[in-house]
A and B are shown apart, each in its own frame.
Chain A
Amino acid sequence: MKYLSEYRDPELVSQYLEEIKKTVTQPWTIMEVCGGQTHSLVKNGILDLLPKEITMVHGPGCPVCVTPLNLIDKAIHLAEENNVILCSFGDMLRVPGSKKSLLEAKAGGADIRILYSPLEAVRIAEANPDREVVFFAVGFETTAPANALSVLHADRLGLKNYSILASHVLVPPAISALMSDPDTVVQGFLAAGHVCTIMGLEEYYPLVETYKIPIVVTGFEPVDLLQGILMVVKQLEAGKAVLENQYSRMVSETGNTNAKEVIEQVFERTDRMWRGMSIIPGSGYEVRESLQQYDANQKFDVWTVDTPEHAECIAGEIMKGLKKPIHCAQFGKKCKPSNPLGAPMVSTEGACAAYYHYSGQTELVEA
């Protein structure tokens, strides 16, 4: 398929692998930030093709994995107790809350609908004026513009029954938090190409300056990932720490200015709890006060208890790059997609799910 097959070209892949092997002289640990990148690395078998000196650790860029447990509980509560039509991206549905997932709530009779676009949720609100419609607005900077547009669209239509339950998270503060952790093992980053397509490069310069760490904004196809890894390795071997853009066919210096304006109109920055990790200052978006009638957090007075994560789940350590899914004692045993102890086992961008589905570790563990 045009614009994809070129980036899955086996010839180019082997050239990049060869180049990486020639360049690397010592062990390096590199984190790919985005869960989409993790899945591509595992699904295409790239992790096994890389020289042993390179360890890839898998970052927190899986939006549903870092959505706080009590927010999932809140979404379930809205659908079950407040007669709300709760709309969500499909990926969110299997993620466990403290007692159940949205999928289980749906099976129990709650009106939960899987959508591909938040604008569809606005259409549902228009068609159901007697019901409250809430869109579970999960995601990184990538999905923020579409979610913000849904608010502006609802506002233009004068809808009183539409709101969003925002759980937006932002990449640069997460990189800061990871690098401020004294235990960190990360020596270089592949930043998330799609996030930077929206946001541009501006916020990443201070990160390379402050933490003296190479960051390469990278795409998602095999050739993208290998080129990104090569660029990081070259910097590490040369003792450099600069910002580079591998994904230049999508990412410009300034990003998508229209999209950023829409985000600015609807959202403001806030401290955000990252599931499995901690509260990271300024790492999330919430709906601006001037538009608070569209903020489900303001509109519905739902009180949820903070429930601790499952004691045996090491999702936080995995997302900080300190451990890999196979280091978890319960991987493929107690924790499986059919019975997840944590979110990364069920999300299509979760590192544990990637290892479980593609790498064959399950079979090894089960055997």
Chain B
Amino acid sequence: MKMQLTCPMPKLDFDVITLGHGSGGVLTHQLLDAGVFDLLKNDHLSNQHDGATLNLSGKTAFTTDSFVVNPIFFPGGIIGELAVYGTVNDLAMCGAVPKYLSLSFIIEEGLKMEAFWEILVAIKNACEQAGVQVVTGDTKVVDKGKGDQIFINTTGIGQVLDIANIAVSNIRPGDCIVVSDQLARHGIAIMSVREGLEFESDIESDTKDLSKVVEQAINKFGEDIHVLRDATRGGVATVLKEIADQSKLGIDLNYRDIPVNESVEGACEMLGLDPMYVANEGVFISIVSQEIAAEYVDFLRKDAASSQAAIIGTVTEEHPRQVIMTSAIGGRRVLSMLPGEQLPRIC
């Protein structure tokens, strides 16, 4: 379920962001004081210092990601929540509980303040959902034409759970491959509204916080979870091929077990895209011990974030470094990495 806007925009002297808002002077302060600090309020941010001073102990996970999605408002989400969940989910895949984020904006002048406010509110809501604090940040504004409305970078720090032992080297032949949800929704939702490729659809992005369900799963299944990976750009196929290469083991998949919803499947058929390679923003892959696989899937299915979880394949010693999928009709094909973006076909 998507959060509703709950924070009305304060009255401001400006309705578009201009170069001056990134100058560090009066306008920058007006912009930040107008809401950023209030909206994302916490002790670290309230200090308004050059950086945050954190108390960390134990094993710590650290990651960064930049968000350049076009359009910035898309079916099922906006760039703000994507920027929080993207980094939070990466921390979760390291077996960590997300704690702190940095937040940097590169804004193209001319961005409407209303749009920026909506992005900020989405960030606030996503942070609350994921239980993270924005503790430091930066805002720059670039000339018109030098950006694409807004780019966001977030860097995250998380506390690795003691019980977690996530590493490709833990994978064993016989392990099961589990995906947490239906594939390809984010990529298709974005494509359905991209200029030149629009088509009518009810498909929404799957952008969501995965950290809660992953934390619970690690606490329950511990070292039986061998690998966790976020299947974002390049989709599930690309991640599995990376894992096969790193582990020097093979992966067998069965097409009939792959969860894809009908609208997404239809859109992929129409555009000539393979859902295995389309981006997700709320799907993670787990490689787990065979013994616990069925129970693990049942556990994931109880959480709304992973209600469509399914075992899609197994790890094998045969065909090392290859990912092989049994097709709908029982034939076999190799899944390799794509040379670039998937482009819609002619006919």
Q: B residues within 8 A CB of A116? A: 196-197, 199, 271, 344
| In the complex, residue of chain B having the shortest beta-carbon distance to the beta carbon of A45 | B331
Contact indicator B344/A114 (Cβ below 8 Å):
yes
Query: Besides the contacts A44-B333, A63-B346, A113-B196, what 16 more A-B pairs have beta carbons closer than 8 Å?
Result: A9-B329, A10-B328, A45-B333, A46-B331, A115-B196, A116-B197, A116-B271, A124-B196, A143-B346, A194-B347, A336-B339, A338-B339, A356-B336, A360-B322, A360-B334, A362-B336
- Considering the chains assembled together, what is the distance between the CA atoms of A275 and B177 in angstroms? 44
**B331 touching A44 by the CB < 8 A rule?**
yes
Q: Does B266 contact A (CB under 8 A)?
A: yes
Task: Tell which of A36, A48, A90, A222 touches B344, judged by Cβ atoms closer than 8 Å.
Answer: A90
Bound CA–CA A43/B326 (angstroms): 10
A139 interface contact, C-beta 8 A: yes
Q: How far is the CB of A212 from chain B (nearest CB, A)?
A: 30
Contact pattern, B 83-104, Cβ under 8 Å of A = 1, otherwise 0? 0000000000000000000000
Assess whether A363 is in contact with B321, with CB atoms less than 8 Å apart: yes
Q: Are B343 and A348 in contact (CB under 8 A)?
A: yes
Tell me if A1 and B262 are in contact (CB < 8 A).
Answer: yes
Q: Which residue of B lies closest to A64 (CB)?
A: B346
Judging by beta carbons under 8 Å apart, are B347 and A139 in contact?
Answer: yes
Tell me if A160 counts as interface (CB < 8 A to partner B): no
Provided the pairs A1-B262, A91-B345, A116-B196 are in contact, do residues A45 and B321 lie with their beta carbons within 8 angstroms? no
Q: In the bound complex, what is the Cα–Cα distance between A356 and B195 (angstroms)?
A: 31
Q: How far is the CB of A334 from chain B (nearest CB, A)?
A: 15
The residues of B that contact A91 with a CB separation of less than 8 Å are 272, 343-346
Q: Please encode chain B, from 264 to 308, with 1 for each CB lying within 8 Å of some chain A CB and 0 for all others.
A: 011001011000000000000000000000000000000000000
> Which residue of B195, B322, B343 contacts A93 across the interface (Cβ within 8 Å)?
B343
* B112 CB within 8 Å of chain A: no
- Knowing A64-B346, A91-B345, A194-B347, the reply to whether A43 touches B272 (Cβ < 8 A) is no
Interchain Cβ contacts within 8 Å, total number? 116
The 9 closest A-B pairs by CB, nearest first: A45-B331, A90-B343, A337-B339, A360-B334, A8-B328, A358-B333, A13-B329, A115-B196, A90-B344
Least CB distance, A180 to chain B, in whole angstroms: 26
Between A and B, 19 residue pairs with Cβ closer than 8 Å are: A1-B265, A1-B269, A13-B329, A44-B327, A44-B328, A48-B331, A49-B331, A63-B346, A64-B346, A91-B272, A94-B339, A113-B196, A116-B271, A222-B328, A336-B339, A360-B322, A362-B334, A362-B336, A363-B336
Contact pick for A92, options B197, B331, B346, CB 8 Å: B346
Check A359 for interface membership: any CB of B closer than 8 A.
yes
Q: Which of A338, A349, A356, A357 has the most CB of B within 10 A?
A: A357
B334 contacts A14, CB within 8 Å?
A: no
The interface on chain B, measured as residues whose beta carbon lies within 8 A of the other chain's beta carbons, has a size of: 31
Q: Is the CB of B334 within 8 A of A46?
A: no
Contact of A143 among B328, B338, B347 (CB under 8 A): B347
Q: Is the CB of A13 within 8 A of B330?
A: yes
**A273 CB to nearest B CB, Å:** 19
Q: Check B334 against A222 for contact (C-beta < 8 Å).
A: no
A348 touches B333 (CB 8 A): no
Cβ of A18 within 8 Å of any chain B Cβ, yes or no, is no
CB <8 Å contact, A89 and B330? no
Query: How many interface residues does A have (CB within 8 Å)?
Result: 52
Q: Check if A89 sits within 8 Å of B344, measured CB to CB.
A: yes
Alpha-carbon gap, A70 to B345, bound state (A): 21
Check A140 for interface membership: any CB of B closer than 8 A. yes
Does B183 interact with chain A (Cβ within 8 Å)? no
Whether B345 and A90, one on each chain, are in contact in the complex, defined by CB atoms closer than 8 angstroms, is: yes
Are B334 and A359 closer than 8 Å at their CB atoms? yes
A31 interface contact, C-beta 8 A: no
B266, B271, B332, B345: the one contacting A45 at CB < 8 Å is B332
- CB of A42 within 8 A of CB of B269, answer no
Residue of B nearest to A114 (CB): B196
Complex: how many Å from CA A138 to CA B338?
Answer: 24
Quick check: B329 and A8 within 8 Å, CB to CB? yes
Say whether A63 contacts B347, CB under 8 Å.
yes
How far does the Cβ of A211 sit from chain B's closest Cβ, in whole Å?
26
Which of A119-140 touch B at CB < 8 Å?
A: 120, 124, 138-140
Q: Which of A297-331 contact B (CB under 8 A)?
A: none
Write the B315-331 contact mask toward A (1 if CB under 8 angstroms, else 0): 00000011010111111
Please give me the residue from chain B that is nearest to A46 by CB atom: B331
B residues near A90, Cβ cutoff 8 Å? 343-345
Shortest C-beta distance, B331 to chain A (Å), equals 2
Report the bound CA distance from A252 to B332 in whole Å: 34
Q: How far is the CA of A9 from the CA of B334 in the complex (A)?
A: 21
User: In the complex, A92→B339 CA distance in Å?
Assistant: 15
Q: Would you call B340 an interface residue if the criterion is a C-beta within 8 Å of the partner chain's C-beta atoms?
A: yes
Q: Contacts A1-B262, A45-B329, A114-B196; is A89 near B345 (CB within 8 Å)?
A: yes
Question: Nearest residue in B to A123 (C-beta to C-beta)?
Answer: B196
Residues A348 and B329 in contact in the complex (CB < 8 Å), given A36-B347, A116-B197, A120-B196: no
